[in-house]
Structure 1
Amino acid sequence: MSSPMTARDMKDYSAQYSALPFEPVQAKYRRALVLREVARANPRTLLEIGCGDLPLFIDLGEDVDVTVIEPADEFFTHACKLAEGRGRVNIVQSFVEDYVCQQADYDMIVLSCVLHEVSDPAGVLASVRHLCNPDTLLHVNVPNARSLHRLLAVSMGLISDTGVQSEMQLTMQQRGMIYDMDSLQDELKAGGFTIAEHGSIFIKPFTHMQMQRLMDDGFMTPDMLDGFDKLVKLLPELGSEIWVNARRG
Structure 2
Amino acid sequence: MNKGNEMAGPEKEILDGIATRSVYALGANAASTRYCFRVLRRFLGEGDVLELGPAEGLMTGLLQSTGRRITCVEGAEAFCLSLSARFPEVEVVQALFEEYRPDRQFGTIVMGHVLEHVEDPVAILKLAKGWLAPGGKLFAAVPNARSLHRQAGVIMGVLEAENALNDMDRRHGHRRVFDPESFRQAFLGAGLSIDFFGGYFLKPVSSGQIEANWSDAMLDAFMVLGERYPDIAGEIYVLASRPAP
TM range (shorter): 0.7 to 0.9
Runs of 4+ in 1 over 4 A off after TM superposition: 2-5
2:120 matches 1:78: no
Aligned residue type for 2:99: D
Q: CA deviation at 1:109?
A: 0.2
2:231 matches 1:228: no
After superposition, where does 1:1-249 map in structure 2 within 5 Å? 1-3=6-8, 6=11, 8-18=13-23, 23-59=26-62, 60-61=64-65, 63-84=67-88, 86=89, 89-103=90-104, 105-175=105-175, 177-212=176-211, 215=212, 219-249=213-243
Q: CA RMSD in A?
A: 2.2
Cα distance, 1:83–1:171 mapped onto 2, change above 3 Å: closer
Cα distance, 1:3–1:244 mapped onto 2, change above 3 Å: farther
Aligned residue type for 1:107: G
CA contact (8 A) 1:23 1:208 kept: no
Cα distance, 1:38–1:16 mapped onto 2, change above 3 Å: same
1-side partners of 2:217 and 2:71: how far apart?
Answer: 35
1:88-138 deviations in whole A, cap 9, x for unaligned? x311111111001233x2000001101011121122112212212331100
Percent of residue pairs bearing the same amino acid type: 24
1:127-168 deviations in whole A, cap 9, x for unaligned? 212212331100000000000000101122222321111111
Aligned residue type for 1:26: N
Q: CA deviation at 1:180?
A: 1.2
Aligned residue type for 1:68: C
SS of equivalent to 2:158: coil
2-side partners of 1:37 and 1:27: how far apart?
Answer: 15
SS of equivalent to 1:150: helix
CA contact (8 A) 1:116 1:142 kept: yes
Cα distance, 1:182–1:154 mapped onto 2, change above 3 Å: same
TM-score norm. by structure 2 comes to: 0.87
CA contact (8 A) 1:8 1:173 kept: no
1-side partners of 2:188 and 2:10: how far apart?
Answer: 22
CA contact (8 A) 1:5 1:118 kept: no
